[in-house]
Amino acid sequence: MLEQFEGEFSKILDIAENDAVGIVLTLANDFPEVFNDVANHEENEVRFYKRAQLVPGMISDLTKMGIVSRRIENLDKLTAFADYKVPQLLRKYGILQYSSQLADKIDNKIEIPAGSKEEVEIRAATIWAVELVTKALKPIFPQATAAKIDGVFWFRGQIKSPNDKPYHRTRTIWY
């Protein structure tokens, strides 16, 4: 950061032209050990970029609070932030359904290895489910974005209830 961006985070925003996707890609490319959240599924590379996608959203929130003066564009291009909490909530409400084998592993708190087919599919299915929910809500709530819906689901997932099922257990640096 010191060399490439003169020690200033604002330089990243300048290079990305305050574009949410540009910020995500800059972070993933220039700080891969922290932001390049990529997995392989069969013969495909799957780019989740969970941490990197959180950054433009946080900057936008700080702008709304009057703390920073950067307006971040194209926040609607971000996806859900694939982690462990949102799929737990989506499963609770029947939006995500797991195979009996996977459900058994999750219910018995058996670790799902990071980068495994199961873990990648849980994360990808979460993103897709949130996209479908967002699409369904758009006619009623035109300002709905996947990132906003993800945030609502994440906060709702923090409220414990007796019928909660466990979340999937994965040791990873990505979420």
Domain ranges of the chain: 9-76, 79-157
83 counts as catalytic: yes
pLDDT class of 2 with cuts at 50, 70, 90: low
- pLDDT tens, position by position, 59-75: 999 999 999 999 999 99
CA distance 129 to 37: 19
Q: Region 157-167: what's the mean pLDDT?
A: 94
What residue type is 37 in one-letter code? Answer: D
What share of the chain in percent tops pLDDT 90?
Answer: 95
- pLDDT tens, position by position, 18-45: 999 999 999 999 999 999 999 999 999 9
**Could you tell me the pTM of the whole model?**
0.92
Query: Mean pLDDT in the chain?
Result: 96
Choosing from 61, 83, 104, 107, the catalytic residue is 83
Confidence at residue 1, expressed as pLDDT on a 0 to 100 scale: 64
Confidence at residue 27, expressed as pLDDT on a 0 to 100 scale: 98
pLDDT class of 82 with cuts at 50, 70, 90: very high
Contact 50, 95 (CB under 8 A): no
| Per-residue CA distances from 113 to 5, 45, 92, 104 (Å) | 35, 17, 22, 15
Burial of 96 (0-12, 13-18, 19+ CB in 10 A): middle
Tell me: pLDDT of 3 over 80: no
For residue 30, give both structure tokens.
């220039």
CA distance 138 to 95: 18
Contact 70, 11 (CB under 8 A): no
CA distance 76 to 87: 21
CA distance 52 to 100: 33
Confidence at residue 60, expressed as pLDDT on a 0 to 100 scale: 95
Confidence at residue 38, expressed as pLDDT on a 0 to 100 scale: 97
Where do the H-state alpha helices sit in 65-145?
A: 85-92, 100-107, 117-137
